[in-house]
Structure formats: C-alpha cells, structure tokens
Structure 1
C-alpha cells in the first residue's frame, strides 16, 4: 500500500518533471507578451495557440478538474500558490496538444499501446517508472513490483486509477517529444570545412602587440547624447531591442507595526496564559488550543528549541518557562518531565565514496581512497572540510551533515546498524560499506531515546484592529491627497518617514512586485487599460502593509520606444561617440605603437599577448574582445591595423608572430564535437521555431 500511496501522491510530480523538457520554450518571455485579443476580439478568450482559441470557461473547467483531483489525493484544497501551478500545468498541456500536437500529426509520429507497455513493464523501462518502483532500501528497480501494482489497479479507488492514467499519458507525451527531437537532431551535420575552422580556431596561435584606449578613459559627462541620436541608433538596430508589454511603478508602503498598546496587551495576554497553563489539568490540550503555531508535546532532544535546550538541566516538572522570542513568535513552556521511547535518535555526518562501477577493482580503489581520507581525519584533519572536498552525495556541501534520524529503517541496514551500535559521539573507527559505497561517519549528537514533555504556547505578536485601521486611514489620506505625479513626488519628498520604492518593467503575468509576494492585484491594476502613466492607485493591502502606487511607464511589444531602453541605448551611442573621437585623434598620429601611445597621452595602453588562439584568446586589459582577436589573426606578421572600435575601447593591433595549426589528417574529433554542440542547441531552436510558428497569445493575466 505504501507504494500505491506514493504513486497516487507523486504521479502529478512525476508528470510535471517529465513535462519540463516539453515546455522549455515557455521560458522565452516574448511568448507571454503576444498581442492580446482581449481587446477588439473575444473578451472570453484566455489565449490562442496554433490558431486554436481557448475560452476562459474551458480553461477554468480543466483547472477545476485538476483542483478536484488534488483534493481527492491530499484530502485538502489547493493553496493559491498551488492553484497558480495548476493553471500553468493546464496551459502547458494546451501548448503540447495544439502546438506540438500538430507537428507530431504532420510527421505521423505516435506512441503505440505496445510501446507504452514496453516503457512501463517491458525491456525499455522509462526512467520515471524506474524511479517510482525503485526500492529505497536496495536502490534496485523491481519490474515484478510494477506488474503486481498494475494487476491491483482496477480494485483501487477511482482517484488512484486516474492518477495512474495521467502518469501514463505523460510518459507517452515524453516519448513523442523525444522522437520528434531525435528526428530533427539527426538532421544536423558538420561539414569538413566547419570542422577545419574549429580546428584552426583552437590550434593556430599568434603573438600580438596592441594599443588600447578604453572608453572609460573619457569621462561620460564630456559626451553629450541627444534624443535624435538615440532614435537613429534604435532604428538601425531594431533586432537588438525586442518589445515587451511591461509596466513600471513607484510605490509607497505603510507598514502595520504593533503599537505600544498592542505590545502591552500582548504581554498581559502571555502572563495570563502562563498562569492558566500552570494549573491546566490537560496542559498539552490547553497549549494546543491557545497556540498560533502548534508544536508536538513529546519531542526529542533534537526537536527542543535551542533557547529551551540550555535550561533543560535545571527545569522542574510542572514549572513554567519563558517567554522565549524567535522572530515575532513568543513561546512559554510547561515542562512535564521525560519519557523513554522505543526508538533512538541521533545526528551524524558522513563522507560517501562511491565506486565508479560494480567491478571488484573499482570497489577496491574506492575503499583505498576512503581509507586514506579516514587516516587524514584520525591524524587531525577537519572532517567537514574533507567532506566538502570528497563527498559524493548531496550532503557534501553541508560538510556531510545528515541531520537527525531514527533507527526506523530510514537508513539502509548496514549503515543504521553500525551507527546506532556506536556509543557516544565521535568518529566511527571503521568504514561502513553499503550498496551506495563506503561511508566515513562521525556521530555529532549521540543516540538517545529520551523524549521531553513540553506543553508549548506559541503566540505571534500582531497589530490590533485599531492599529490596522489607523495605518489604513493614513494610506487612504495619502492616496486621496496625491492624485497626480507632481503631488505624489512632492508628498514623498516632504515626509521623510515615507519609504518610496520602484518596480521596473513588470511583466503582465507577474505575481510579485519586488519583495511583495501575492501582489497580483497591483500588477493587474498597472496593466488595466484605464491606468494611464501618472495615475495614482487606491490603497492595496499586502500582508502587514498598505501600498499606494503610481504608474510611471508603459512599454509595448508592438512599439519599441527610446524610453524603453534609454539607459542601454545611451551607453551604446556614447561608446560610438567616444570611439569616433578616439579614432579621429589616433588617425593623425604616426610611428610605433609606443610612440603613438605617448603622443595620444593619458588613457592609451600598449600591451603584448602571446600564444593566443582565435577561440580562447584573452587580451590583458581588454579581455576576450572578438573584434580585436579577429583583426589579430587577419594580419600578416609585421602588419599593423588602422584604429578600430572593439567591445570596450579602440585598438591598433600589430601582428608579431604567427604559428599556423599543424596539418591534420583526421578531423573526426572536431566534427564530433561540433555535432554534439549542434545537438545540444537543437532543443532550444526547435522550441523557438514551434513557439514562433504557433503564434501563441496568452491572455491569462487578464483573468487571474
């Protein structure tokens, strides 16, 4: 039953994991910024994919189906964050069905029932199935376990059967995507000329001397950039500046902080609860009823809060202790003594050394390495440092820390037996061998089966309703009194206690505004057609604060303006003007590079680079400047270039020495490398092509 429950609960996660590769193209932000048909079209349309319209009713029905399935599996309704994930999954499914589905159909791609069976219980088990039916104790996949599960499937509840059906569907979609990508990936090839170019770029070397005048040698303040120059640059480089539907706002926040009266009332409440807890007949039940944050009554030493742990030795049964403060939570405890448990708990760290494979020689090599590390630790070396350097599992970054665990089978048997058979704390003197490899183990907290009875009342200090109403009144007054951009700015400057923040280029589907989470109401206000630049909002409530915002800028996917990229455009135009100024000055100077630099004056550098390659050449001050490298390899020995603009400055390059790439008869290695690189890029290019072809219009942000 444990595995059945796991499949039931995890199938959605497994399906989502498989779907990640299928929806990679959603990462391209422009897919979300398509021209909305919400206006001037069907207002009930959530979106359009590959010519297929998606109505809000159909979309919401699918979301509700997913929500019901989730509730049936977990016994509770989804949170708002989980609902947002469900909407994303439903949208992704439409992408697969419409955009990818038409591509599969055009090519005649499909997954047969026999192929699906083979993935689940045949000779080519899908990795997700293998993961679900792997024994956590042995780490081995058991096909018989799958077959037995499927035999019992019809007798399981409908929710479990549906979960498995969804899981199988995701397997088929993953296989279809794999077939499609493989088909296109196999169409990529590398010519001999391409391989020869790669070989030359990696092998041919050159020594160069160059004069470099960085742009930063000229103060920005001396270069005036006009709007007409920015407009001209944007017009010539439209391909570099893609349009996006974004909004920018400024906002002020009015935090709701407990007043002195709230704090005094809170402490009086804590004192009263402490007295009542002291005489409560059922102290654990009383504590649970009066706690904002519920904690267990019986806890191991590992679970005892740090502040309480320091006082355990002096605590008396029936005594009241506290309050202890952690963040905004205050806790008082009634100590009830100890109780012995049937299970032990301890804390340990380990360094895992895995064999490369299952051969005896590989195991022997791993053992020898582990023994060497063990010897270093016994000689005084730091365990945690060696764990970070040598550990071969996810605990390495934490210095090998495994945290607290019990002797309840959560660890593999050889490991658990050795660790819980060790007395006290410290390094276990011998290696522990398991199916995972060889473990060097240090017990950091000795085993204990003592449980502490702690009836805890945890209360969060919070502002009263009167305090909240007072802060809301201030926020309302601010919004009502400052309805224009001028008034808004003046009010912020006048009141030094008001904190003004900016949120630049928000996307329409955003849920957060800077560090404000669950801020969809602010984003939707900013994107509302009635919200013009300069409009001041009403008051928004966000957790423990009130927000008043003003819209400061809009950008559109269909109309790119200078204002959308002013800072970047200004930097680029300024660099061109600096380059022109530097080149004009250098053009009138003759002589060697040293002489030219001396005559140019401050800012000119003369440097030498040896044994550089076209593929990986780096120039000392200028870095990896592709333009300069290209010029260097295009010159004959002794030849000097004219001044030219690089990435971050102006160059004059002179070739000193050239070492051609040796003749090579077999370019296979370079062809294979280039082919592999092309194959790795294939998925991205496929996604981009399908994305563009599907003409995706996403209006979900108008509804949620």
Structure 2
C-alpha cells in the first residue's frame, strides 16, 4: 500500500515531465533553433533598406501575392526556379518602394490620377497596357478592350480585381522610375571641349618606336613573393579589394544515369508508339498526349536535327520516321506534307569591316579594305579563313563568318537582310553591303526557303528507374559515411578512380547553383552554416539527376579582407612589380634603343607602331596598353621617354612622327557619341548609386 501511495505522489511529476517533453519535441526546433528567441537569434528580420527593417512575414506576404498573380496568369503552379525569380523581384520591389521613394519625395516627383488614366485609356497608353490588351489575332492594341474590362472590373472575382490593382500600382511605380531616370539622363551634358578631346584622340595619328620587355619574359619561378609583401600591397590598395562573404567547396558527384535496361524499355515503348502514331486518326492529338516534350507541328528545314534533315528526301505523306536518338531522348515523326510560311529562312556567312570612327575618311579606309578582301575571295581565297582573320564580328569570325539560319523578320539590320534575301540561290554576293555597323562581305550558304514540313512528333526521354536511383544513392551514401575530413575525402577519391573532384570557388551566399549544378541551394546553405567548419564533409545532397558530397575548403568574410581571399590576384600584382624593378635595373640609363635591347638580351623586343590613334591604338606585342600609348603620344618628335612600367611590361617609348588631327568646325558627331555612351550607362549607374546610398543589408540567404 505504501508503494502505491508513493507512485501516486510521483505520478503528477511524471505527467508534467512527459507533457513538457512533448512540447519541446513538437516546437523545439522553433524555440531552440539558431534564429529562435531562446537560441539567441531574431528570425523575423530579413534585411534592412534605407534604415527600415524588413521582417520575414511582410516579405512573405508580398511574395505570396506575386506568386498567386503569376499562377493566375500562367495557369500553372510556380516551380522552384520561378519562385527564386519571384523572390528576387519582390526584394527589388521593396528597394524601389523604400530607397527610390525617398529620392522621389526629395525631388517632388509624383504620378497623378490624371496621368494614370492617360496611361491606361488615354492618349499616351503604357506599353504594358498595349501588350496586355493586344488583339490575339492581329497583335494590334485594342483600346476598346481596356474600356470594357474596366467597366466590368467590379463584377470579376476578387483575385482578378486584386491582380488589376497591383498591375496599376506597378504602372505607377514604373512611370515614377522612368521620370526619375529621365531627369538624371537629361541632366547629363558633354561640353565642346570634351567632344574636341575625343575627336583629337580618335584622329591624331602617331608613329612610335619602342623597347618593350614583357613581364612574361621573366619566369615566374625566379620571383619569390612573400606574405609580408602581399600584406603590404593589400594595405596600400585596400579600396580595390572589397570584402565579400564567400565559400569554396570541392565535391564529387554520383550521377543518376539511365541503365541499359532503362534504355531498352524505352526503345520498346517508342516502337509501340510509332505504330500507334502511324494508325492514329488524329495524329497531332496522339503525339501531344504521348510526348514528354512539346513538339512543333510545323518545322522548317533549318530547325530540323541533322538526322531528320537526312530523311527529308525520303518523306512520304503518312510515313513515320525514326526513332532518332539525341542524348537521352528518342524522337519519332509522322510526315503530313508541306505548306508555305509567310517568312523565309536562309543561312549565310559574313565578314564585317568596321570603320575606326564615324568620320568620312575612316569609312573610306574601311571601304577600301573591304573591297580588297572581296577581291581576294573572288580570286579564290577562302571565305572562312578571311573571316577568321579580318572580321570585326568576333562571334561569327571564330566560325568562319557563319551566322547560322535566320528569317526575314527584322532580326538582321535591313540592308543586310535585303541583300541576303534578294539572292535566289547560294554563293558570294558580289558587292559590299553597308550598314550602321560597317561594310559586310556576304556569302549565302543555304538558299532561302519558305517551306514548312507538317510533322506530328513524339519525344520520349529515358528516365532512370527507381532501382537505378537507389543504386546511385547507395554509392553516394556509402562514400559520405566513410569520410569525415578533407584528408579522408581525398583518400577515398584516390581509391575510387570513377570519381572526379570539382571545385566551386568563392560561392556567394545567395547562389542557387554550384558551377553547372542547378538547384544546389542546399549545398550553399550547408557551406554557409555557422556549424560548418573548414575541411568538414557534407551529407549526401540530391540535385536534379545526381547526388553530391561536398567538403568545405575555403571561407572569405566581407568584414575582414585577408590576403588568402585574393592570393592569386595579389601574387600576380606583386610579382609583376618585382619583375618591373628587376627589368628596369637591368635596362639602365636610356640611350639608343637598339643598343639597350642588345645589352638587355633575350626578352627585349624592339618594335614599331605606325599611324595609330590614342583612342584605339594597338602595340604589336603589348596589345592595348593605355599607359604606354599615353607616354608615347605625350612626347615631342624625336624624343624618348624614361624607362617606365606599363600594363604588361616595361617600356621605353620614342615618338617618330605625329600628325595632328585637322581642325573641324563641327564636333557634333563626337559629342553625340559621348552623350549616347553616358546616357546608356545612366540607368545602371543611378541604380547603383541609390542602392549604395540605401546601405542595404540583405539576409535573405539565411531564410531561403
């Protein structure tokens, strides 16, 4: 009996202990987590803009509204990538609402209700309204559609009314931003003196002789750089090296690749689908129902894969072609004849010769050069080789001038497009074509065509089976479980020849990707976790079609810049300084350039640069070196400079001759050129200035 009483006495304590334990089990993560009130953090503050704190709840409410509007407009749920983009958009809207609003109020900028009416249904319709209410058939703006929509707005469901209210608010915000930017843009001014200086820089010509000893002529291995030298350089150039919080990780991946059985199963399925496609009465509907990828029903020859192009000559109406494998996807097509497109497609190559400046004399020089190249091609020279060595279009030059396929839809400048589509066949266009970019030498490599092939296509992608996924995870988990430190990580990789270590350098805290790995946010969050130390190994992360195990190998801190944060850059700078001192000492006093080069020996280059300008001049071996050009142009004829250090080496310059740019009465083209450059950068620079002034603190990466 005494024992029973004892149990009764203690039962109340036991119940209390169990209840408290349950509470902590259920909400312990919230109460004791790193951002909890008991854990010492404040999980409500997402950031700060212009002195105003942004709490997580208000930000989430804004994001939820944006997500709902997005899903209402697209008719589908927002995916992870869309959520990331919407989150960034919501943050940028807050910056506008707070930081920009502060500037608007100081300047007295507003958008009146009358302006809003004018933008929505008046005489100056906003481009956003024009796009939203365009006629779906003609693409033309339909003002009556706006009026009818507004008349019936109050009868629409509440979410649509809220969506319109937000749309109008964005219109007002965009107009305010536009006013602000235009105010700054129109306040910029280029003086006549600045325009004249630009004209002189582009048109004054000089011929130079110079002695050049490049840094690379002194082997890096002969120059020892100490940490104290790096520290001294960093201290003297502190403003050039801004601190930023980053992490460096090394990682191995365990890809989830379809196995042979997976491929065989899909091949069997695609053959069954081919029979079904051949007999389907509505083949387009059958294809849509069974395809993993949305396939076009009308294809031009240019848009076809190489395998399908080869089959075109064998096409018979009603015939099924394939399967063709591209990567992990099989394609089959049913051919249903052809039709004519309103647009034509052509393939062409070009060589662009661009004038050095807008002057008539520069254009004439460019024209003569282009005529010379065209003559060489007519005489049998390789178009591709001439493009690679002469074209001012770097993107196409490395492909022998190839521009690929394009249509006559305005994607190319009009003179170019007119010339290409006036050709009935293939071959070299026998004249120069001038556009605002310069002079084009053009060769049509595939004749224009407006034929569209009507195809019902099915694409099926090989998906790894669950067994395949499980096996990849088993390998990753076994690897992660066997290593705890960087040294163990390295040993395990060395033992498994199938693994390759990759490095992601200096990842920012907001990054969603790790090198080419998409949707890698969890890896980044692990790397930035306060509990993750250097040389720690992660758990297994699943990202798309692979598993990842990472090790943290480096950290940088925005509040504490260390030489290790910029070791490679600092080492290169200090090493070049030491090389410059060594080269300068060896060159000695300035004298005859040939004698100096001979005395110095191997590594000293004696070169000339004839008829170059200060603005665009290139030196033979040194390339564009503004320090060397400035020194050379600043000399008097026949004089030599002292030994000095340029961008890429040590120089002695001698001015052989200089032809001053002739005086002109009108500097307007150069003033316009400078003005356009300033205006094109105004929006970006203004945005940077507003953000800097707002002293933005962004802690979103701690929450998402």
TM-score, length basis structure 2: 0.72
Task: Name the counterpart of 2:411.
Answer: 394
Q: Deviations over 1:46-68 (max 9, x none)?
A: 11111111111111112122222
Aligned partners of 1:288 and 1:636: how far apart in 2? 77
* 1:571-590 to 2 correspondences below 5 Å: 571-588=572-589
Q: 1:445 pairs with 446, 451, 457, which one?
A: 451
Task: Name the counterpart of 1:687.
Answer: 687
Task: Name the counterpart of 1:591.
Answer: 591
Q: Deviations over 1:85-108 (max 9, x none)?
A: 221221111111011011111221
* 1:1-16 to 2 correspondences below 5 Å: none
* 1:330-341 to 2 correspondences below 5 Å: none
Confirm or deny that 1:52 pairs with 2:39.
no
Displacement, 1:235? Answer: 1.3
Confirm or deny that 1:293 pairs with 2:299.
no
* 8 Å Cα contact 1:248/1:505 also seen in 2: yes
Aligned partners of 1:504 and 1:386: how far apart in 2? 35
Q: Unaligned stretches of 5+ in structure 1?
A: 1-35, 353-383, 401-424, 428-440
Aligned partners of 2:344 and 2:291: how far apart in 1? 37
Q: Unaligned stretches of 5+ in structure 2?
A: 1-34, 347-400, 418-423, 427-446
Per the alignment, do residues 348 and 285 of structure 1 end up closer, same or farther by CA in structure 2, a change over 3 Å counting?
closer
Q: Deviations over 1:306-361 (max 9, x none)?
A: 77988875989xxx99876453345789x9x98x9xxx844575279xxxxxxxxx
Task: Name the counterpart of 1:634.
Answer: 634
Per the alignment, do residues 134 and 636 of structure 1 end up closer, same or farther by CA in structure 2, a change over 3 Å counting?
same
Aligned partners of 1:521 and 1:533: how far apart in 2? 17
Task: Name the counterpart of 1:565.
Answer: 566
Per the alignment, do residues 577 and 58 of structure 1 end up closer, same or farther by CA in structure 2, a change over 3 Å counting?
same
Aligned partners of 2:325 and 2:172: how far apart in 1? 53
Aligned partners of 1:226 and 1:58: how far apart in 2? 51
* 8 Å Cα contact 1:641/1:653 also seen in 2: yes
Task: Name the counterpart of 1:355.
Answer: none
Q: Deviations over 1:181-237 (max 9, x none)?
A: 233334433445444433443343333221111112122222222222111111111
Q: Deviations over 1:209-268 (max 9, x none)?
A: 211111121222222222221111111112222221111111011123344565666678
Task: Name the counterpart of 1:127.
Answer: 127
Displacement, 1:41? Answer: 6.0
Aligned partners of 2:183 and 2:543: how far apart in 1? 50
Task: Name the counterpart of 2:366.
Answer: none
Displacement, 1:582? Answer: 0.8
* 8 Å Cα contact 1:509/1:701 also seen in 2: yes
Determine helix, strand or coil for the equivalent of 2:501.
strand
Q: Deviations over 1:490-513 (max 9, x none)?
A: 221222111211111111111111
Q: Deviations over 1:386-428 (max 9, x none)?
A: 997994613899x99xxxxxxxxxxxxxxxxxxxxxxxx999x
Confirm or deny that 1:500 pairs with 2:501.
yes
Task: Name the counterpart of 1:256.
Answer: 256
* 8 Å Cα contact 1:390/1:396 also seen in 2: no
Determine helix, strand or coil for the equivalent of 1:558.
coil
Aligned partners of 1:553 and 1:487: how far apart in 2? 17
Determine helix, strand or coil for the equivalent of 1:247.
strand
Task: Name the counterpart of 2:615.
Answer: 615
Determine helix, strand or coil for the equivalent of 1:115.
helix
Displacement, 1:609? Answer: 2.4
Per the alignment, do residues 313 and 514 of structure 1 end up closer, same or farther by CA in structure 2, a change over 3 Å counting?
same
Decide which moves more: 131-140 or 240-249.
Answer: 131-140
Per the alignment, do residues 248 and 641 of structure 1 end up closer, same or farther by CA in structure 2, a change over 3 Å counting?
same
* 8 Å Cα contact 2:245/2:509 also seen in 1: yes
Aligned partners of 1:528 and 1:83: how far apart in 2? 22
Per the alignment, do residues 499 and 291 of structure 1 end up closer, same or farther by CA in structure 2, a change over 3 Å counting?
farther
Displacement, 1:129? Answer: 3.0
Task: Name the counterpart of 2:386.
Answer: none
- The structure with higher relative contact order (CA 8 Å, sep 6+) is 1
Per the alignment, do residues 87 and 447 of structure 1 end up closer, same or farther by CA in structure 2, a change over 3 Å counting?
closer
Aligned partners of 1:459 and 1:178: how far apart in 2? 47
Determine helix, strand or coil for the equivalent of 1:101.
helix
Decide which moves more: 149-158 or 506-515.
Answer: 149-158
* 1:448-467 to 2 correspondences below 5 Å: 460-467=461-468
Aligned partners of 1:95 and 1:510: how far apart in 2? 20
* 1:147-166 to 2 correspondences below 5 Å: 147-166=147-166
* 8 Å Cα contact 2:133/2:142 also seen in 1: yes
Determine helix, strand or coil for the equivalent of 2:64.
helix
Task: Name the counterpart of 1:524.
Answer: 525
Determine helix, strand or coil for the equivalent of 1:684.
helix
Aligned partners of 1:240 and 1:55: how far apart in 2? 33
Per the alignment, do residues 217 and 346 of structure 1 end up closer, same or farther by CA in structure 2, a change over 3 Å counting?
same
Displacement, 1:519? Answer: 1.0
Question: Between Structure 1 and Structure 2, how many residues are aligned?
Answer: 584
Displacement, 1:163? Answer: 3.4
Task: Name the counterpart of 2:43.
Answer: 43
Decide which moves more: 542-551 or 322-331.
Answer: 322-331
* 8 Å Cα contact 2:483/2:537 also seen in 1: yes
Aligned partners of 1:85 and 1:159: how far apart in 2? 22
Per the alignment, do residues 113 and 653 of structure 1 end up closer, same or farther by CA in structure 2, a change over 3 Å counting?
same
Determine helix, strand or coil for the equivalent of 2:252.
strand
Displacement, 1:654? Answer: 1.5
Decide which moves more: 306-315 or 461-470.
Answer: 306-315
Per the alignment, do residues 577 and 37 of structure 1 end up closer, same or farther by CA in structure 2, a change over 3 Å counting?
farther
Q: Deviations over 1:20-66 (max 9, x none)?
A: xxxxxxxxxxxxxxxx9999763321111111111111111121222
Displacement, 1:659? Answer: 3.4
* 8 Å Cα contact 2:586/2:600 also seen in 1: yes
Per the alignment, do residues 465 and 626 of structure 1 end up closer, same or farther by CA in structure 2, a change over 3 Å counting?
same
Displacement, 1:529? Answer: 0.9
Determine helix, strand or coil for the equivalent of 1:499.
coil
Displacement, 1:619? Answer: 2.0
* 1:1-150 to 2 correspondences below 5 Å: 42-134=42-134, 141=141, 143-150=143-150
Aligned partners of 2:489 and 2:119: how far apart in 1? 63
Displacement, 1:472? Answer: 2.0
Task: Name the counterpart of 1:483.
Answer: 484
Displacement, 1:673? Answer: 4.5
Displacement, 1:691? Answer: 0.9
Decide which moves more: 131-140 or 305-314.
Answer: 305-314
Per the alignment, do residues 315 and 648 of structure 1 end up closer, same or farther by CA in structure 2, a change over 3 Å counting?
same
Displacement, 1:180? Answer: 1.5
Please provide the CA RMSD for this pair. Answer: 4.4
Decide which moves more: 40-49 or 575-584.
Answer: 40-49
